[in-house]
């Protein structure tokens, strides 16, 4: 059974666009607000099996710019980057779209573009 989760924060414009697009396509999904519901190191570690740090960390946002130079340097180390993301979920490029089948991640996508989502869901049962 396919389970779709959108991770993000509700006031992010890109997350809003992704949620609206999925709803308009009548695609059932669960929204996980990682500021309110939290995010674990285990979840981020799973994501890093499907993407890399450079893709997952948003180095253009205000949260990144607010980090100290030492924290920014530590983001190149996987374990330190995971700790930073758990502590500052807004560092993660949003939204994170996670598609699972039989409790296994089959697709992980960061960010939102309508054409990209259309391609993903034309292949998803």
* 12 noted as active-site residue: yes
Spatial CA neighbour of 111 closest among 23, 7, 41: 7
Helix, strand or coil for residue 110? strand
Q: Which of the following is catalytic: 3, 5, 12, 21? A: 12
Cα torsion angle, 71, 75, 80, 82, sign? positive
Helix, strand or coil for residue 29? coil
Active site residues: 12
């Amino acid at each position: 059974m396919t389970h779709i989760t959108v991770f993000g924060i509700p006031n992010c414009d890109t997350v809003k666009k992704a949620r609206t697009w999925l709803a308009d396509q009548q695609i059932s999904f669960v929204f996980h607000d990682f500021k309110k519901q939290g995010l674990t190191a285990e979840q981020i570690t799973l994501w890093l099996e499907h993407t890399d740090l450079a893709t997952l960390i948003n180095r253009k946002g205000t949260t990144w710019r607010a980090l100290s130079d030492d924290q920014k340097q530590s983001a190149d180390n996987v374990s330190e980057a995971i700790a930073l993301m758990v502590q500052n979920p807004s560092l993660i490029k949003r939204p994170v779209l996670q598609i699972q089948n039989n409790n296994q991640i089959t697709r992980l996508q960061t960010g939102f573009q309508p054409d990209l989502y259309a391609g993903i869901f034309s292949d998803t049962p």
